[in-house]
Structure 1
Amino acid sequence: MNFKDKPDTHFKSVDKLDKKEAAEQIDALREGINHHDYLYYVKGSPEISDKVYDKLFNRLEELEAAFPDLQTEDSPTRRVGAEPVSKLKKVTHKAPLFSLQATLEKEDIDSFLTTAQHKAGKDSVQCVLEPKFDGLSVEVVYKNGHFDYGSTRGTGEEGEDISHNLKTIRALPMELQHKDETPASLAIRGEVFMPKDGFMALNKRRIERGETAFSNPRNAAAGIMRQLESRHVADKPLDIIFYEILATEGAQPATHQEVLKQLSRWGLKTCDLNQSASTLKKIEQYHHRLAEERDDLDYEIDGIVIKLDDHDLRNAMGTRDRSPRWALAWKFPPREEITTVEDIVVQVGRTGILTPVALLQPVDIGGVTVSRATLHNEDEVHRKDIRVGDRVRIMRAGDVIPEVDERVKTPGKKRAQEFHMPDRCPVCNAEVTREGAYYVCTAGLACAAQLRGRIQHYAARSAMNIDHLGEQTANQLVERQMVSNLADLYTLAVDDLKSLEGFAETSAKQLHDAIQEAREPRLDRFLFALGLHHVGRRVARQLAEQFHTLDNLMKADQSQIEDIPGIGTETAMETEHFFRDPANRDVIKRMQEQGLKVHPMPRPEKKPLEGKTFVFTGSLENFTRDEAKEQVEMLGARATSSVSNSTDFVVVGSDPGSKRDEAENIGVECIDEKDFEKLINKHGKPAGG
């Protein structure tokens, strides 16, 4: 049987095969599938249709199910669906995985060549030039031509075993070609990376679901490859390139060019941009060419790697503690804050508001890699006339949230169509309605994105303060349909939580205990934790002080709420609607049945810092920013984000921004964290609630 060339997909019924016939067909199918994986994922030139490939794969699965004793670990069917590992084991590398010394200066390249020429006693030395992939460096080990295991670079001497996840990457062969020519043991080095189009698609899905986007493809690849369950990796767009033999039984090739040829002969993917050079001029031309072409490549590179070709010369050059002397990385200058809008996607927040987000070609802004930026709302997109494919200038508003500042005009370039918000929610497909400048999903907690967001917000430190309940855990609780509303959190058992990825007996018990301990909040904390539209911490405190108990607030009408100074009609209307909604009342009732007891808010008294205004800048050691604001607000003061003549105190932490200088220029008092603590303690530090 030959499934390599024009494979026949008309198969005899499995129950009519004896074991010998099944074994022969299984071997032939594995060989054929591996061959077509190589053509598709390594060579990029498939010879059969997806439909034919699926028939071959499904037939192999059917045979292995019927003859389970013929299953093998290196079968193509074992790439996905493997049992999750309990943790990532430590692995000692066959040989050190050195990091590369890097430079931005041409003079350092000249010095590198001069040193190598002197050591070789020649006027020129041959180098191999390669793109510097911005990915995850890995060691992959083969035994007798079969995949054995793979690990992360880690410390360079020791890494983590990620074999279960590497198997899901189709470009990585489970069996080498010409395996009769392979050494008994072979350790090679490669780079796992995420192609740009796959990265953009992944971030689009994450943003639409209300999850945090990955900042760049390298972080995405590194985070995904350390998952404990390969089923969460198998559908991710990962690829791998190989570029070095680390260790082998028997003789190594004499040059790096021969190594690359040998890797390719074994069916391992190498980079088609590699080339040789022996002069600084040729190296500079290569560096310049790739710097210009990097935006058009389907993967991220941040420079080039220059390696001596001759292995004897490499040995003569030797190594430093953590890097070889025979190789050097010449990095590209960081991209400026002007970049390209690759896509505009719509994110669904916990309150149902749809926000357009620009997915960007990653760009460095003040030392931070930015790959997404808010576009606020449809009106803002139209006002700035931002479209997919535009060049834009990015700014970080308040040094935190990246946003698109303006479009950079590119004369002569054809532009994409104007952006419009969707009519249906991108997560749950419910109807979308417009409320003022915003579009809102009408599904409420039936929308998975809103539910995930509400769980995260409910558990936040400034809300119910439930440790260990972050974004990833909230996602799993919703995806596995373990939580359909906030009341379900209190019904989760330790065994339920143990089934989540990343949890074992101890961590599951810790989360369970943290949820159970979050049963007696003060009213203002509980109101903020519920995540009502327009109800932040300040409004939650106003509501709690006015109505004192949860029962009183749930009975209040719009006019009573609107009578509170500073609360507008829209907030009052939204609050009344929330507590009159039968579904919300039912969730609160179920929470109370599970032991939730909301403590009344203390009656407001004259507060010692009433009328004072605080601004915080820099990082505080003993408070988060929200905690510091809560302290002053509980004492009657306001916390604002900008310095003005009405500011009374600017609290200065470590690494402060420009706000300290602004305060000093207009004569506003600046105090450090120690003085801030003395001030709030003097007036009676309020309970955290």
Structure 2
Amino acid sequence: MTFEEAQSRVQELRDEIEYHNQRYYQEDNPSITDAEWDALMRELIHLETTFPELQSPSSPTQRVGAPVSEGFVKVEHEIPMLSLSNAYSTEELREFDRRVRQVVGDDVRYVCELKIDGLAVSLRYEDGQLVRGATRGDGDVGEDITSNIRTIRNVPLALKEPVTLEVRGEAYMPKQSFAKLNEQREQQGEPLFANPRNAAAGSLRQLDPRIAASRRLGVIIYQLAQADRYPVERHSEALEYVKSLGLPANGERQVCNDIDEVIAYIEAWGEQRRSLSYATDGMVIKVDDIALQQELGFTAKSPRWAIAYKYAAEQAETTLRRIDLNVGRTGAVTPTAIFDPVQLAGTTVSRASLHNEDLIHEKDIRVGDRIVVQKAGDIIPEVVRSLPEKRTEDVVPFSMPHDCPQCGEPLHRLPDESAWRCVNPNCPALIREGLIHFVSRDAMNIDGLGEQWITILLDRRMVTTVADLYRLTKNDLLSLERMGEKLADKLLHSIEVSKGNSLERLLFGLGIRLVGEKAAKTIAQVFLSMDALEKASVDDLVAIPDIGPKMAESIVTYFQAPGPQQLIEELRALGLNMTYLGQTAAKVESVFTGKTVVLTGTMATVDRKQATEWIERLGGNASGSVSAKTDFVVAGEKAGSKLEKARSIIASGKNPELRILDEDAFLQIVDEAGLR
């Protein structure tokens, strides 16, 4: 392909990907599958890698996440990001209306917008290009989260017109992503997010943008800053204007002629809002006329022309009948409250996770108690509290059993964990959950072989390990009820196709404790083969960015155990791929080969992403932290604590061989290897 052909194709791909991003994230109406979207993105990445001069900060490829940053830079807002005063009743709304009309008269209209339960952010565009994303912070000073904002696919990296402006909006996590994230965290024994707002905030405040990229966040714009500078007279017009530029303006809104229409609109959305893909916790009411907004002005904390009506959290009282124990694929035993059914947020609820024994004791929850339940963020059922004043004398405190409810083997609790675990590899629950996870979409993606068929295969004793899936024959499947020839052929084809998956899918599918989807890919990209990974030490693994000591120990322990060793040999003999199939550039021998290299400070002639890629091409392991095991520290301008720590390690004699390189010395190594 010539440069001109590549240039044309790159632009076609960028336009097509952004079109599909809009269909998926803004219109909720995708027109292609995830696999087709991935294929477009892979082609674009390949072309931009082959022709580096075609790379652009506005390309969709920039959304995958940059390397880990050292910390957030403070950003001073040109216009303060103030919070809104709240109203909890129609009486308070009418009082707000009275105050407004007292200043500007009765000729006033309002705009009602659903209040998104997320994190307030500011986006700045210059000449149509996204140049900065920031948190609200204290209203005057926020944090620069541009790298994380770039990973959000419904945020345009370039506007449809080359204008300079700043917009404010709410970054949110979709309900489905929130539920999946908490499910993953619970399986890994990690603390759960209380609601989608906390999850979105936690994602955007990660120093590693790849975490934000993996969580499918969205942004909804609710304000054009300094709107009086633009060709609009009303707030509703401002939202239409930013929407015309390609920004995801708040679509669930209505202009109301008076406060009665406002109240009617709020009531109409009281239940309807629960059907949305994102969580809402209220309605924002704003004076529509921008000139009237300026006349009303601000208090020290909030605008006088806007107010937030907060919907009351719907709670219900019921009776806790029992606490069931469920064993997950990692062996974690999760207590679940089973109570008399109640209506919450439009659905019937009769169960809620209690997460762990400590939470049960903290809330003093006992079987037979009257309890209060609600849906966290209108999504996840939870027990808010017990009502001890209504407790009968025969109710006793909960006590965690000592044995696994599935296999009867003793349960174990590690000193630094809240979960009790079954560690019996032959536990039926671990086997079942492990098989379901192995065939899932994010793991080996064996299409059609879901939870129902896994349960049937286990009940018929046709499978006991994941290796048995690859031994199934057509006659085996046809012996099952409701299994026809077409379905049997389809399942066998899916099983056969899965043998060719890249190493990271197999690693994730094996269910190694603490190894999530992202970590599995990182590990696969470094070690490239199962053989190399099986020989890795804890030190080898900790040297990889994002792999901490606990995960490293978990991986080494897994591969040292006889059961996993036998399983991997069986899978290898059955024809499963054991290598990483992603794009891997050839390594170049250098002084960095096999060494741990830390970048710190700002490079004058190269960005951190390119420097990290060079280190990896030169055989080094790019790390985000300095320790006595670090071999090189590359220090750019304004290098801070990491450089000081490196000097301290050298001076103390802990690692006198540690070398500190400036930018010129680093680039000399790159040039000698012919990479630049």
Tell me the TM-score normalized by structure 1: 0.53
Among residues 354, 362, 371, which one is paired with 1:373 in the alignment?
354
Q: Secondary structure at the match of 1:150?
A: strand
Cα deviation for residue 295 of structure 1 reads: 3.3
Q: Secondary structure at the match of 1:33?
A: helix
Cα deviation for residue 116 of structure 1 reads: 2.1
CA contact (8 A) 1:375 1:381 kept: no
Amino acid in structure 1 at the alignment position of 2:272: E
Q: In 2, distance between residues paired with 1:357 and 1:50?
A: 34
2:88 paired residue number? 104
Cα deviation for residue 193 of structure 1 reads: 0.6
Cα deviation for residue 423 of structure 1 reads: 13
Among residues 432, 442, 446, which one is paired with 2:427 in the alignment?
432
Among residues 383, 391, 397, which one is paired with 1:394 in the alignment?
383
Amino acid in structure 2 at the alignment position of 1:477: P
1:476 partnered with 2:465: no
Q: Secondary structure at the match of 1:233?
A: helix
Q: Secondary structure at the match of 1:187?
A: strand
1:71 partnered with 2:55: yes
CA contact (8 A) 1:86 1:228 kept: yes
- Root-mean-square deviation (CA, aligned residues, Å) is 5.0
1:114 partnered with 2:93: no
Q: In 1, distance between residues paired with 2:27 and 2:38?
A: 19
Residue correspondence of structure 1 range 570-649 to structure 2 within 5 A: none
Among residues 153, 156, 159, which one is paired with 1:176 in the alignment?
159
1:146 paired residue number? 129
Q: Secondary structure at the match of 2:277?
A: coil
Q: In 1, distance between residues paired with 2:380 and 2:34?
A: 36
CA contact (8 A) 2:335 2:354 kept: no
Amino acid in structure 1 at the alignment position of 2:186: I
CA contact (8 A) 1:169 1:238 kept: yes
1:95 paired residue number? 79
- Structure 1 residues 236 and 423: CA distance shift in structure 2, 3 A: farther
1:227 partnered with 2:242: no
CA contact (8 A) 2:186 2:355 kept: no
Amino acid in structure 2 at the alignment position of 1:54: D
Q: Secondary structure at the match of 2:96?
A: helix
1:39 partnered with 2:23: yes
Q: In 2, distance between residues paired with 1:311 and 1:117?
A: 15
Residue correspondence of structure 1 range 391-430 to structure 2 within 5 A: 394-396=383-385, 430=425
Among residues 199, 202, 206, which one is paired with 2:178 in the alignment?
199
CA contact (8 A) 1:130 1:306 kept: yes
Q: In 2, distance between residues paired with 1:220 and 1:72?
A: 30
Q: In 2, distance between residues paired with 1:308 and 1:273?
A: 16
1:130 partnered with 2:125: no
1:243 partnered with 2:238: no
- Structure 1 residues 59 and 316: CA distance shift in structure 2, 3 A: same
- Structure 1 residues 240 and 347: CA distance shift in structure 2, 3 A: farther
May I ask how many residue pairs the two structures share in their alignment? Answer: 426
Q: In 2, distance between residues paired with 1:428 and 1:176?
A: 54
Cα deviation for residue 114 of structure 1 reads: 2.0
CA contact (8 A) 2:406 2:429 kept: no
2:623 paired residue number? 499
CA contact (8 A) 1:146 1:176 kept: yes
Q: In 2, distance between residues paired with 1:95 and 1:283?
A: 28
Residue correspondence of structure 1 range 307-318 to structure 2 within 5 A: 307-318=286-297
- Structure 1, residues 627-647: CA drift from partner, whole Å, max 9, x if none? xxxxxxxxxxxxxxxxxxxxx
CA contact (8 A) 1:195 1:299 kept: yes
Which segments of 5 or more consecutive residues in structure 1 lack a partner in the other structure? 1-16, 365-369, 400-405, 407-419, 453-472, 513-689
1:331 partnered with 2:326: no
Cα deviation for residue 30 of structure 1 reads: 1.4
Q: Secondary structure at the match of 1:137?
A: strand
Q: In 2, distance between residues paired with 1:284 and 1:31?
A: 42
- Structure 1, residues 192-248: CA drift from partner, whole Å, max 9, x if none? 011112111100000011111111111111111011111122111311101111147
- Structure 1, residues 134-162: CA drift from partner, whole Å, max 9, x if none? 11000001111111110000111111011
CA contact (8 A) 1:337 1:393 kept: no
Q: In 1, distance between residues paired with 2:368 and 2:263?
A: 43
Cα deviation for residue 294 of structure 1 reads: 3.7
CA contact (8 A) 1:478 1:484 kept: no
Identity, % of aligned pairs?
A: 31
- Structure 1 residues 89 and 233: CA distance shift in structure 2, 3 A: same
Q: In 2, distance between residues paired with 1:147 and 1:316?
A: 31
- Structure 1 residues 374 and 35: CA distance shift in structure 2, 3 A: closer
Tell me the TM-score normalized by structure 2: 0.54
Q: Secondary structure at the match of 2:315?
A: coil
- Structure 1, residues 600-654: CA drift from partner, whole Å, max 9, x if none? xxxxxxxxxxxxxxxxxxxxxxxxxxxxxxxxxxxxxxxxxxxxxxxxxxxxxxx
Cα deviation for residue 109 of structure 1 reads: 1.3
Q: In 2, distance between residues paired with 1:127 and 1:278?
A: 6
1:213 partnered with 2:184: no
- Structure 1 residues 421 and 381: CA distance shift in structure 2, 3 A: farther
Cα deviation for residue 421 of structure 1 reads: 6.9
1:50 paired residue number? 34
- Structure 1 residues 426 and 45: CA distance shift in structure 2, 3 A: farther
- Structure 1 residues 353 and 106: CA distance shift in structure 2, 3 A: closer
Q: In 2, distance between residues paired with 1:476 and 1:103?
A: 45
- Structure 1 residues 52 and 299: CA distance shift in structure 2, 3 A: closer
CA contact (8 A) 1:304 1:329 kept: yes
- Structure 1 residues 95 and 30: CA distance shift in structure 2, 3 A: same
1:288 partnered with 2:271: no
Q: Secondary structure at the match of 2:334?
A: strand
1:305 paired residue number? 284
Cα deviation for residue 97 of structure 1 reads: 1.0
Q: In 2, distance between residues paired with 1:48 and 1:353?
A: 37
- Per mean C-alpha deviation after superposition, the further-off stretch among 31-40 and 127-136 is 31-40
- Structure 1, residues 327-350: CA drift from partner, whole Å, max 9, x if none? 011112233255999xx9957699
1:162 partnered with 2:286: no
Q: In 2, distance between residues paired with 1:311 and 1:450?
A: 52
Which segments of 5 or more consecutive residues in structure 2 lack a partner in the other structure? 346-350, 361-365, 389-394, 396-404, 410-419, 435-463, 466-509, 517-544, 561-595, 599-619, 628-640, 650-676
- Per mean C-alpha deviation after superposition, the further-off stretch among 243-252 and 162-171 is 243-252
Q: In 2, distance between residues paired with 1:279 and 1:36?
A: 39
- Structure 1 residues 346 and 61: CA distance shift in structure 2, 3 A: farther
Q: Secondary structure at the match of 1:173?
A: coil
CA contact (8 A) 2:169 2:223 kept: yes
Q: In 1, distance between residues paired with 2:325 and 2:179?
A: 10
Q: Secondary structure at the match of 1:190?
A: strand
CA contact (8 A) 2:26 2:248 kept: yes
CA contact (8 A) 1:308 1:314 kept: yes
- Larger of the two Rg values belongs to structure: 1
Cα deviation for residue 94 of structure 1 reads: 3.1
- Structure 1 residues 432 and 20: CA distance shift in structure 2, 3 A: same
